[in-house]
Structure 1
Amino acid sequence: MSAAMVGQIRERLVAALAPTELEVLDEGHKHAGHTNAGKGHFHVRIVSAAFAGVLPIKRHRMVYAALDGLMDQGIHALSIDARAPSS
């Protein structure tokens, strides 16, 4: 399921934010022993012109908006590094 979820996350972010750089990592292995260990823990590093002049909290909201629906269908935790090309 994680590889499929990584693919879905990538597709959504590409469609919504046209990133120049995008990395989606499954970090479930880092959460051994935690509640929901190994299930739905992801890290996104994204660079997009859509983030230019946008505060970090709004950038995160843009990522969450692009992933609407997936947050309830397999993403348990999501860490986000969202930057504009110049930052």
Structure 2
Amino acid sequence: MNPDDVKALVETGFDDADVAVEGEGDRFLIRVVSDAFEGLMPVKRQQLIYACINDRIKDNSIHAVSLKPFTRAEWDKAQKMGIA
């Protein structure tokens, strides 16, 4: 898979998300900025993202992922602090 394919998969699961994907082959870093994460614990946020890519994990198209879910407010703060 390529990053654009993974990005398209993740975007299908969110109405208002800013999705960025880095990586190649079967290993990816996925950043999702969405207000859908508001009030959710980290595990629930990850589950929302995994729901979009689970079929590709099952067929081994994706082997390893690193997930970075943010609300819009968290993302703005992270950028201002220079940690994003």
TM-score by length of 1: 0.73
Counterpart for residue 41 of structure 1:
27
Q: Aligned partner of 1:65: which letter? A: A
1:8 matches 2:5: yes
Q: Identity rate of aligned residues, in percent?
A: 23
Q: After superposition, give the CA deviation of every residue in 1:5-56 in whole Å (9 maximum; x if it has no partner).
A: x223211211111344211001x5xxxxxxxxxx411000110111111111
Q: What CA RMSD, in Å, does the superposition of the two structures yield over aligned residues?
A: 1.5
Instruction: List gaps (5 residues or longer) in structure 2.
Output: 75-84
Q: Does 1:61 align with 2:76?
A: no
- How many aligned positions are there? 73
**Inter-partner Cα distance in structure 1 for 2:16 and 2:42:** 16
8 Å Cα contact 1:19/1:46 also seen in 2: no
Give the Cα separation in 1 of the matches to 2:7 and 2:15: 10
